[in-house]
Chain A
Amino acid sequence: MSLTKVYDAPTVFRHLNGIMNIYKPAGMKVKHVKNAVLHNIAKDLNEMKVREPRKLHTPLLEPGGDANPLLRKINSIDLADHILATGPRYQISDIRCALVAGLGIHTSGVLLFGINKGINQSQQVQRNRPVRAYHVTGRLGMATETHFPDARITVRADYRHVHPDRVSALAASMQASHQRKMYELCGVDLQSQAAYEIACKGLLRPADNTQPVIYGIKLIDFQRPDFTLEIHAINECEEYLASLINEVGIELRTVAHCTSIRCIRHGHYGVETSLLRHGWNLRGVVKNMREQRQVLQKHPHLINQDKIELRND
């Protein structure tokens, strides 16, 4: 199918459906990100060729001139529909936009929005609870009130005794205990045959939609005093991840707080194709939605789940 250049705004608006993958910067609220993107989209739509003002339904009559003395109709525009009288043709409230799953203020990374007709798809994706992968960086030696660097420091401790193999061993044991908890959360009595059959299949989604479950923790970087963990989880929030870092510090007989959280994957939507700030305009959003459509085509199980366990593909 050949690509054609589109200059008129109604066509673009009609085709502005789907899921968009935005890279949320750290320190910015999700509300502000959404407003910024929608504001830019509306501004760009208004700059394209928009609908002309309507014609007056009672056409005026004017004399035809010397050559033709008959009265003739002139279709003059309805001034009430002029852009300056009604305001810009596209406003933020015209675009329907729903968040798939939120990120905290300190988290950066993949943030998915469903636009117009893509809201259905986005809600189904979220209902099937995709697994999110994070890179969480922590710093040893200090603990703060909210486990984030902007809060007041509560405890200081020495961390010279911490080594990377200790940390990875701790991460592995935390992963095992979380996976054990996952079986308890699957909603079936642990002593039954059904539980055994479910356990044979592998890692499962929890029955409860609010309880955070961690499927994997791995140490990927250790430069004392900083360390980075890769965490795969469902139903988590940024406070939970930050308190995890705090617990890691306590288990290592020191203290730690969380310096940065980055969401690198949301289901099959990765951070490689997410839209950075300089692309938060109509052109970038349309291109992004076209790329994200392929993700859904390759992995239809994001919308229609057919197995209860987590898949590898």
Chain B
Amino acid sequence: MIILRNLRFITKVTKTDANIPNYLPKNIRSLRNQTRQRVESLTTKEEHTDHVEKLAQPTRTEQRVNTVLRKHCLCNKSPTLQKFLQLGVDLHSIERRKGLAKFTLGLDFEKDVQPYLYFLQDQGVPAESFGELITKNPLIFKIDLDDLQTRVNYLESKKFTAVQRQRIFTYNPFWLMFSTHRIDKRLGHFQKEFHLNGDDVRFLASKQPRLITYNMDHIRKASFCIREEMGFDKDEIKCLLLSKPRLWMINSDELIERFAYAHQTMGLSHDLLIQFPEVLTSREFRLRQRHEFLATLGRAQYDPEKDLYTSPKDLVSGNDYHFVRNVAKSDLETYELFLKTR
């Protein structure tokens, strides 16, 4: 009996939280224990005047022990992480990806991070987008500054204006990870494949910088899809590429479905689709719903020369309310009743 009572006494005092796994090193386990106990004492002892705060317990995902707790203890102590928080870097998403958490913890703000931020600022990247840049690509701090300078010089030598370079670096955090050789090969590929001249390549790179560093397999598949399966010829493809480069980044199966609906069911010719490429960037269900609604109203006329013409651009732009009132010239109740019959 005495032994049992002692056991209970021992287990009560040294109560280890079952949630903290045993394979973690001892210091982290003790740190986690500390924060856990302190949270409990906070809610029981103190009088919370703010009613909302008292009842706003951490949600289930926060109570569950995840690797975020490691940052919990270190956010308050590491000046680098604090500076990152000030810049607006999303530490939570960095931590999710393997290996990046350890890397960012090891960075020293003055020595490692600041030179890069000054460099980016010299290129014209606004300070507000630093947070997003670092969130998406923290490994940029691994690259040598000389390499970065070489890559920027390459772009300058290819006659990219300062505005274009600024757009490239702001919208594509991964551009600077590619060596000069790779970027050169990619730009050359786009130039040869789509018969673009120098100005076109620069325009394309600044309009959609992500396309240049996109997965080559995906781009090849999308080009095949647009050329063979949809039946556009070379000039039309060039026109599409320069007006809506995003088409090459969409999943090609979905793209084919949308094109099939737009071309066969809605009756839009190739010329109309080149004039209004937005039709191919909207999701298929939206096209279907809106076209069928217009068809029941008798307004599904996409030929500009005939009466009751609706522009395909209006078909896909705006939310449902805007579409129903301005384009279909009807009211939302009719549209809802129509949708519920499908």
Contact = CB atoms under 8 A, between A and B. Distances in A.
Contacts, number: 86
Contact of A86 (B62, B82, B89): B62
A80 B340 contact: no
Could you say which interface size class chain A belongs to? Answer: 35 or more
Nearest to A27: B285
Given A10-B52, A84-B92, A86-B68, A56 B75 contact: no
Contacts of A239: none
A27 B285 CA distance: 9
Most buried by B among A78, A80, A90: A80
Contacts of B56: 10, 51
A8 B51 CA distance: 12
Interface in B27-72: 35, 38-39, 41-42, 52-53, 55-56, 59-62, 68, 71-72
Contacts of B53: 51-52
Interface in A263-279: 271-272, 274, 276-278
A19 B340 CA distance: 20
A108 B342 contact: yes
Most buried by B among A25, A82, A85, A86: A85
Contacts of B88: 84
Given A10-B52, A56-B76, A278-B319, A84 B89 contact: yes
B71 A80 contact: yes
Interface string B309-342: 0000000000111000000000000001001111
Contacts of A87: 68, 90, 92-93
A227 interface: no
A93 B42 CA distance: 26
B73 interface: yes
Nearest to B71: A85
Contacts of A79: 75-76, 81-82, 85
A215 interface: no
A90 B59 contact: yes
A87 B62 CA distance: 9
Contact of B336 (A11, A26, A28, A276): A276
A276 B340 contact: yes
Contacts of A56: 76
B42 A80 contact: no
A87 B59 CA distance: 12
A305 B39 CA distance: 45
B292 to A, nearest CB: 12
Contacts of A62: none
Contacts of B320: 278
B91 interface: yes
Interface string A1-40: 0000000101100100000000101111000000000000
A85 B340 contact: no
Interface string B72-86: 111110000110010
A226 to B, nearest CB: 14
B61 A94 contact: yes
A26 B292 CA distance: 14
Contact of A14 (B42, B55, B60): B55
A274 B340 contact: yes
A166 interface: no
A56 B39 CA distance: 10
A57 interface: yes
Interface string A243-268: 00000000000000000101000000
Nearest to A81: B72
Contacts of A78: 76
A91 interface: yes
B85 A82 contact: yes
B324 to A, nearest CB: 10
Contacts of B68: 85-87
B61 A85 contact: no
Nearest to A272: B340
B92 A86 contact: yes
Nearest to A94: B59
Contacts of B336: 276
B43 to A, nearest CB: 10
A254 B56 CA distance: 64
A205 B319 CA distance: 44
B93 to A, nearest CB: 8
Contacts of A81: 72
Contacts of A232: none
A89 interface: yes
A93 B59 CA distance: 10
A111 to B, nearest CB: 13
Given A51-B56, A94-B61, A276-B340, A80 B285 contact: no
17 contacts: A14-B55, A25-B285, A57-B42, A79-B82, A80-B71, A80-B76, A84-B88, A84-B90, A84-B92, A85-B92, A86-B62, A89-B59, A91-B59, A91-B61, A276-B340, A277-B285, A278-B321
Interface of A: 8, 10-11, 14, 23, 25-28, 51-52, 54, 56-57, 78-82, 84-91, 93-94, 108, 260, 262, 271-272, 274, 276-278
Given A51-B56, A84-B90, 12 more contacts: A23-B340, A79-B75, A79-B76, A80-B35, A80-B71, A80-B73, A85-B72, A86-B62, A87-B93, A260-B342, A271-B340, A278-B320
Interface of B: 35, 38-39, 41-42, 52-53, 55-56, 59-62, 68, 71-76, 81-82, 85, 88-93, 285, 319-321, 336, 339-342
Q: Which 8 A-B pairs have the closest CB atoms?
A: A87-B92, A80-B72, A10-B56, A79-B75, A80-B75, A51-B56, A278-B320, A94-B59
